[in-house]
Amino acid sequence: MNKIIESKFLAKDVKRFVIEAPKIAAKRKPGQFVIVRSNSKGERIPLTIADSDLEKGTITIIVQGIGKSTKEINSFNSGDFFHDVVGPLGQPSHLENFGTAVSIGGGVGAAIAYPTAVGLKQAGNHTISIVGARTKDLVILEEEMRANVDEVYITTDDGSYGFHGFVTQQLQKLIDDGRKIDFVLAIGPIPMMRAIAETTRPYNIKTVVSLNPIMVDGTGMCGGCRATVDNKTVFVCVDGPEFDAHKVDFDLLIKRNKTYTQSEKTAVEHFHQCHYDKVFDLAISENKS
C-alpha cells in the first residue's frame, strides 16, 4: 500500500499524484516507470515516474484518465492509497551530451518526456522542449519545463495558445530555421511519434521514442508487451521503453494496443462513471479555491 501525499488535476482528465515510495524514489532514473494497481482487483497499469524527492521519499506520477483503471486512479485524492506500486522498471533513458537536444511531449506525453528533458539538461545539452496539446487548457508542465530547459515552445492544435499547429510543424520550423539539432526525444500518441520519426528521418537526426504497449508483469515474464524494432521482437518493459524511432514498427503497436478495445468498453460501463465525474468536478473546484 502506498499513500498519496498530494494530488492535483493539471488539466481535465490529467492528474498529478505525489506518492510515498522511498525505495523507488532512491533508485529511479529518468525514463523508468512503475506499475500500479489501484485496488485488490485492479489491473496492472504502467506509469512513468515524472519526478521524485529523495528526502521526502516520494515519487510523482501524472495520469491521464482514458479507460476504466486510469479514471479510477484519477478519482483518488491525497490520503488515499494505491494497493501496489512496483518499480522502478525498464531501462533508464540514455543520457549524454549530444549537443542540442529537443524533447517533444504530446498530451500526457509531456509528463513522460519531462524527467528525461531534465536529465538531458543535466548531461550538458542545450535543451529545447516542445509541449503540444489539443487546446490551451490541456497544456501541462509548462512552468516546470520553463524552469528546467533552455527553450520551451508550446503548440496547440486549435491555436488557442502558443504555436497554432502540431508539434511536428514546430520541429520542422526549427530545422528550417537552420537550428542544428543533434537529438530528439518524442513521447505522445503513437501517430504523433510516428510523424516525428518521419520528420527527422530525412535529416538523420538521432530520434528516440518511448513506447506504451499493453503490459502485465513489466519484468519480461509474459511477452505481452512485445513490439517490433529493427525487424526483431523486443519486450518493451525490459528492453525499453525507449527505442530508435526510425526502426520502430508503429503500425504493429497501434494494432496491438487495440487488443482489448471491446473489453475496455465493458469495463468502463461497469465502472461508475457518475461517481468519477462528481469527484472530478469537486477536485477542480478545490484546485481553484
Minimum distance between the CB of residue 207 and other proteins, rounded to whole angstroms?
23
Residue 147: CB atoms within 10 A of its CB come to 10
Q: Based on the shown chain and the rule CB under 6 A, indicate whether residue 229 belongs to the binding site for ligand FES.
A: no
DSSP 90: S
Calculate the alpha carbon distances from 112 to 39, 135, 255, 264 in Å: 24, 19, 22, 23
| 221, HSE (Cβ side, Cα atoms, 13 Å) | 4
Calculate the alpha carbon distances from 284 to 7, 13, 29, 51 in Å: 11, 10, 31, 23
- 233 is in the binding site of which of ligand FAD, ligand FES, other proteins, none (Cβ under 5 to 8 A by kind)? other proteins
Q: Based on the shown chain and the rule CB under 6 A, indicate whether residue 259 belongs to the binding site for ligand FES.
A: no
Do the beta carbons of residue 265 and residue 67 sit within 8 Å? Answer: no
Pick 139 or 253: Cβ nearer ligand FES? 253
Q: Based on the shown chain and the rule CB under 6 A, indicate whether residue 38 belongs to the binding site for ligand FAD.
A: no
Minimum distance between the CB of residue 224 and other proteins, rounded to whole angstroms?
4
Phi-psi category of 239—alpha, beta or left, where left has phi over 0 and alpha has psi -120 to 50? alpha
Minimum distance between the CB of residue 55 and other proteins, rounded to whole angstroms?
18
Q: Which of 84, 137, 182, 264 binds ligand FAD (CB under 6 A)?
A: 264
DSSP string, 212-233: ----SSSSSSS-TTEEEETTEE
Pick 12 or 255: Cβ nearer other proteins? 255
Pick 183 or 235: Cβ nearer ligand FES? 235
Q: Any idea which residue has 497544456 for its cell?
A: 139
Q: Are strands 151-156 and 81-82 parallel, antiparallel or unpaired?
A: unpaired
Phi-psi category of 168—alpha, beta or left, where left has phi over 0 and alpha has psi -120 to 50? alpha
Pick 200 or 210: Cβ nearer other proteins? 210
Q: Which of 81, 224, 252, 267 binds ligand FES (CB under 6 A)?
A: 224
Site size for ligand FES (CB under 6 A): 12
- 256 is in the binding site of which of other proteins, ligand FAD, ligand FES, none (Cβ under 5 to 8 A by kind)? other proteins
Per-residue x/- track, 115-144, ligand FES (CB under 6 A): ------------------------------
DSSP 27: H
Binding residues for ligand FES, per CB under 6 A?
Answer: 215-218, 220-225, 235, 237
Binding residues for ligand FAD, per CB under 6 A?
Answer: 33, 43, 45-48, 62-64, 66-70, 108, 111-112, 212-215, 241, 257-258, 261, 264, 267
